[in-house]
Amino acid sequence: MRMNKKTLSAAIAASALFLSAASLANAAVPESGKLDFTVLRGGDEIGTHRLEFAREGDELKVDIDTDIAVKMLGIAVYRFEHEGHETWRDGQLVSLESKTNDDGTPHRLAVNAADGKLVVNGDARQGDENPDVIPASLWNEDLVKQNALLNTLDGSSMDVTVREVGPETVEVNGEPVTATHYSVTGKLERELWYDAAGVLVQVKFAGSDGSEISYVLK
């Protein structure tokens, strides 16, 4: 009888650990299956940044679409268009494809898992990458544990330092939400906020002209 109690206790503990791990693995994926951001420059709307998440068997598919246009007198003086597709399995990236128009400069990137590594084929780099690398698509909170990120435009490796600033209140669709603020510096400069579930809820950074760019979650 005593052994049965120990066995039951061990089973309950194991189940709790499994559920906790599963919860953490899914933490960065919003319940709605999408993140829809309005992009602001100095408070003025200049575009959208959208992510859609879908589970297919043991894989997580992430589709990313960014469409930004800075206009003067109704004429676009800067355009940024990016389309990305990520596939994840067991918390690791297994493929990434993207195409980008950075104000007239095109980029294409393909990343695929092979033989325990990632093979990168991009404008800035062709070669192998650590299979545990996190792309700089920002949605995955595991990004804050990294010291190098994969550039999702050209495949280059970006050395970064991440500092936790602390809990702050941000507005999501008109409602206050408590989120943890992280500051990313180095080859990528971003201010990021993730809510208690690990979902990205706000992004801020300086544009090339020094203006503040914000991603505000609808």
DSSP state letters, 119-184: EEEESS-EEEE-TT-EETTS--GGGGG-SEEE-TTT--EEEEEEEEEEEEEEEETTEEEEEEEEEE
Does 9 fall in a domain? no
Residue 138 · residue 154 · CB < 8 Å: no
**DSSP state letter for 115:** T
Does 8 fall in a domain? no
pLDDT for position 74: 83
One-letter amino acid of 157: S
Is 36's pLDDT higher than 70?
Answer: yes
Give, in order, the Cα–Cα distances in Å from 135 to each of 8, 140, 144, 191. Answer: 41, 8, 11, 16
Which pLDDT band, with edges at 50, 70 and 90, does 13 fall under?
Answer: very low
Question: What does pTM read for this prediction?
Answer: 0.86
Does 99 fall in a domain? yes
Does 16 fall in a domain? no
pLDDT for position 21: 34
Residue 150 · residue 112 · CB < 8 Å: no
Q: What is the mean pLDDT of the chain?
A: 88
Is 176's pLDDT higher than 50?
Answer: yes
Structural domains counted in the chain: 1
Does 144 fall in a domain? yes
Mean pLDDT value across residues 144-167: 98
* Domain ranges, residue 35: 29-217
pLDDT for position 11: 38
Does 12 fall in a domain? no
pLDDT for position 216: 96
Residue 86 · residue 64 · CB < 8 Å: yes
User: 3-state DSSP: the chain helix, strand, coil percent, rounded to 5?
Assistant: 15, 60, 25
pLDDT for position 75: 87
Helix, strand, or coil here: 96?
strand
Does 130 fall in a domain? yes
